[in-house]
Structure 1
Amino acid sequence: MPSTLTSTPQGVADENIDLPPRRDVLQAMLGGTGRGGVPVRSVFVQLKEPNEHDSRHGRLSQFTTDARALDAYLLIHALASSKAPHAASYPALVWAHAAGLDRDATLKSARQRWSKAVAKLSKLNLIEASRDGRQSVYTLLHESGSGEPYTRPKNLTEGGWVTIPYAYWLEGYDEQLSLPEKLMLLVSLDQKQRFELPTARTQEWYGIPETTASRGFRGLMKREILEATKRTTIDLQNGKSLMRTVNVYTTAGIWTRENRKRGMTVARKKVPRGTKVKEATA
């Protein structure tokens, strides 16, 4: 029988720990939130207004070379954002295994990788990290990185949000997608269902280099997460033909706006009449 994650002594040698499959651990963790996806405010991707540096780059721009920290943030957000006090608490081993950091490393190294990732999140004012005995506790802060407390987004007056379905973890997208694909997936999910986004502007608008954006878009289309059609338009800056061709992207499959919205609601199991059930919290 595999040992439980919550009872494994830190001093036990890594090779003696037989962990449950990562997907089962993720299912247990995410299943406790009572929903099918996580809403992340759009200001994480792009600020509503320019900051003091006249930039609209969101905190996403700080992860263009750090996939582990981005994965750590999205996982913590998925688990902590569902209800007040917007904190999630598990042993460090659980976090490291759930994040998949032990795929190609010892558990000791995986825990060190996790610690490094969350240290960056704390520095960016996206979380507050603390401890409760053997538990590593992470409390969400506002997605803008302002350091203000996190509150659940409730309406579009707050600037909107990006909805990430739990399939991102449970179907292994977090393992399969490259960092450029993850970055452009988040940018794409923050757009309308059909959108144009010239890669020549991603550095200016999002702090994502053009070459990174191009690789990300190509990968997402290859994986059939995005579909693209060509549109020709007038371009008065083109001294040769006065025309240019642009991609018009749409999200596909589980990633469409409609499917992601529908997936946020978790179907409750039917119970016989007269059975008392504890009301679930979202």
Structure 2
Amino acid sequence: MTDPTITQAMIDAYDEYTHLTLDRRRFMEQLTRLAGAGAAAAAIAPLLAANSAQAAIVADSDPRVKGEDITFPGGSGEMKGYLVKPAEHTGKLGTVIIVHENRGLNPHIRDVTRRVALEGFVALAPDFLSPLGGTPSDEDKARDMFATLDPSRTAADAVATVTFLKADKDGNGKVGAIGFCWGGGTVNSLAVNAPDLAAGVAYYGMQPKSADVPKIKAALLLHYGGLDERINAGIDGFRKALEAAHVEHTIYVYEGVNHAFNNDTSAARYDKQAADLAWGRTIAFLKQKLA
């Protein structure tokens, strides 16, 4: 049996469904039209979505890392999070916040957090849905919850996470952040609101207002997928504002790949070559800025 053909129009429709105005019913109607039949659309939809059953790159039982679910003080209430450290290390380590996509703190982000720890960092993935009770197992429900989050509280919770990590007993007091999709935008916002953030890495994240860019003190590494027209529309304005404010930054656009190209649980959108290249650049950047 051959895999169904997935077109760019299908990927664009899924992006609209996950980030903009389409609901599930309208998305499936549009996908059926594009695929030519309901059965084909039903086969394609799981390939566009992330698969939480996908095997982790670093298993939660990997003896090289130690992870635990924790609670810590947020901006105005308790935050949940997943904290991971190398099982064996000497000296103080740089610390990194990992900010999830608009599906919350799911198995994929936990896996990414372990990957970061394995590179020699204290890694913490906060659950930014904590004010609403935490990330549910139903990812569509999680997506809907993001629309009800208070942006000012999210910003305060992100700043509080920096404060928490700065005091970690195994950390060296330097804090960086990596964010994906919604999390990429959150990292950009965090850079605006946390002058003590040392480094920020935003994967295909929404850009902050140009007027806020001069507040940024962190060095930034910005990754974008070349086919991601929705997010990429803000690159030029962001670049000009960063240059005008003399903010240290590097921008990479990976041609021919989509939004969410780093997410290896999404068969249709993941691009291994781009993801590996961006990851290598990310880790080198964080090792330099958080040493």
TM-score > 0.5, shorter chain as reference: no
**TM, length-normalised to structure 1:** 0.25
TM norm structure 2 = 0.25
Q: Which has the larger radius of gyration?
A: 1
